Amino acid sequence: MTGHEECPSCPRCRAGICEIHRPVVDRWKVAVFVVSGLLLLAGILAGYFTPYPLVGTALLLAAAVISGYGVLKAGFLALIRFRFSIAVLISIAAAGAFLTGNAAEGATVLYLYAIAEFLEEYAAGRAERSIASLLDIAPQTARVRRDGGETTVGVGDVGVGETAIVRPGDTVALDGIVTAGESSVDQAPITGESVPVAKGVGDAVYAGTRNTDGYLEVRVTKPEAESTIARVVALVAEAQAHTSPTEALIERFSRYYTPAVILVAALLVVVPPLAFGVPFVEAFYRALILLVIACPCALAISTPVSMVSGITTAAHNGVLIKGRDSLEAVGLAGVIVFDKTGTLTIGRLEVDDVVGFGVPEAEVLAVAASLESRSGHPIAKAVRRRAEKMGTVLRDVEEFASVTGKGVQGRIGGAAYLIGNPALFPELPGGAWQTAYNRLEGEGKTVVLAGTASAVIGLIALSDVVREDAKKTVADLRARGIRTVMLTGDNERVGEAVARRIGIDECHAGLLPEDKVAMVEELMERYGLVVMVGDGVNDAPALARANVGVAMGAIGSDVAIEAADIVVMEDDISRVAYLVALSEKTVSVVRQNVTTALVVKLGIAGLAVLGLVSLWMAVAFGDMGLSLAVIANALRIGRAGS
């Protein structure tokens, strides 16, 4: 096969990243480098050790044409169209070297530049290889149940609603819902989370994740092209098309840079001979060196190769960045805004305190859990979870009734009990319970009373569970000089309590979705670049308004993946700090590359003007060597840990 169009069944071809079904050119390039390198070496040796200089020149010319054919052709076509590209600079330099009797250097210029171009292609191709490695996660076949038996078919032939069989050690082929079996599933390829996740009936599983130990039957919910891993691949591929502000600046700079260099080189040919008596041939040679060293190859690739490395590294760690501009912006943010529920907290109430008045705490919990066993309210579920954890034995409840907006009531062992807010106990006088109630409520907790119509026997305080790494994540961000802000629809008391517990700098509570958008706009005016972190659905307007929107826990959520600029696949708040660190490292590497490229090129250019650098040295150190250094530095990002 010679192209993507000839293998439509190959998922890599459909993604436009197939490495198998396209012409293999790299081997030919290596062969060209070997042949032209041998000719170059032979030509140089012939010039030194034989009395036939034309033989050496012929060999050098052959080496130049073979290795630099593409550059010479591109340079000629650009020149006749009056477009001054990098190829024009190199072609003029090589031709000038041959014309001034420096055939060895002319051939060396084209040979080394061709190698530099090859290195750039490798760096650009790394993006495709990284995307392809993501696609390698998902298997190409699936084991499905058909006609009462099992059969293995291509994943593209599996329909929605069919049952896939996933045995221990298998990779899940398609997104779906578990209909039978239990197991632990390694979701690291999608989420970056190293700890396997327990899966049972009713749980979602995703293509590309690995079943570690149990047997699962999965009802397929999405075709291959719409699976989570396919969306990951598509988003990473799409990200390559978004340029960062730094890239855009360098591109604009390069547009005017080449003509300016040619003009300076022309002046270098004319001015020194006329003003300082420098021989014309020597001045011409120095101008050729300037043309070579001025080629902005390393400068041009310094940013994109770094950004691609950062984006693909993030994808392998469960963070999808939908554009290079977003990756760069995160590291430059002055403030990061968090939604509370579902982002800093897990959005589930848990019992924090049980307080008894005249009765043991265990008795308070037993009464409350017995009554709440008849309710489906979130508070009831939290109380039951606490009772189950403590091994509390539930009691029989009679005459159960739910009082809307207040709580529940019923009879246990012949006595009437009530569980709810103070409105359910209108005739009770204040006392010790009131003091404890005010204290717990002041801590931002939801407090329910347990008792009879005449007395409170205890209090149960609940709060939304703060994510395990939330406090450390906020501390890490503050250590980097980033201000943290929390936005919540909860009341101010609850919001301030959570903010204090986590270490948030600023809290704004009682906000509707439109209020959150207004607050993001205000923060943008106060601090400049703002990153908003939310659940990707309820916070969609604020995520869209912020400079960068980061959606948390978006695995399997099409809405979240579409809404945000950056998607954290797992509910792991620590990924926000990781994202900032990755962005800062990427931006730092970009700056290192740009600075190094400019300093080295300007330094060698200055030496060239003074006649202290030869043509081949300009290419070896100022072009090929510099490009290799820039690429190697950028690839360091890919070795960054999670």
Please give the torsion angle defined by the CA atoms of residues 530, 245, 322 and 595, in that order, rounded to the nearest 10 degrees.
-100
CA separation, residue 162 to residues 152, 221, 389 (Å): 13, 8, 38
Contact 463, 440 (CB under 8 A): no
- Rounded Cα distance between 561 and 550, Å, is 10
CA separation, residue 192 to residues 235, 313, 331, 358 (Å): 17, 11, 21, 50
Q: By C-alpha distance, which of 330, 230, 312 is closest to 531? A: 330
- Rounded Cα distance between 570 and 556, Å, is 10
80: which strand partners? none
CB atoms within 10 A of CB 9: 10
Residue 143: Cβ-neighbour burial (10 angstroms; 0-12, 13-18, 19+): middle
Contact 180, 559 (CB under 8 A): no
Structure tokens at 479: 């250590």
**Spacing of C-alpha 78 from chain mean position:** 38
Q: Strand 530-534: give its sheet, edge to edge.
A: 319-321, 566-568, 548-552, 530-534, 335-339, 483-487, 506-508
User: Largest Cα–Cα distance in the chain?
Assistant: 121
> What DSSP line would sit under 460-482, residue for residue?
EEEEEEEPTTHHHHHHHHHHTT-
Structure tokens at 6: 């000839």
Structure tokens at 198: 């327990």
Contact 554, 572 (CB under 8 A): no
Element holding 531 (H helix, E strand): strand 530-534
Q: By C-alpha distance, which of 545, 575, 637, 491 is closest to 130? A: 637
> How does DSSP classify residue 157?
G
Element holding 632 (H helix, E strand): helix 625-635
Catalytic residue among 339, 464, 539, 572: 339
Q: By C-alpha distance, which of 10, 433, 534 is closest to 224? A: 10
The answer to whether residue 339 is catalytic is: yes
**Spacing of C-alpha 541 from chain mean position:** 21
Helical spans, DSSP H, in 214-373: 228-239, 245-276, 280-293, 297-316, 324-330, 361-372
> Active-site positions?
339
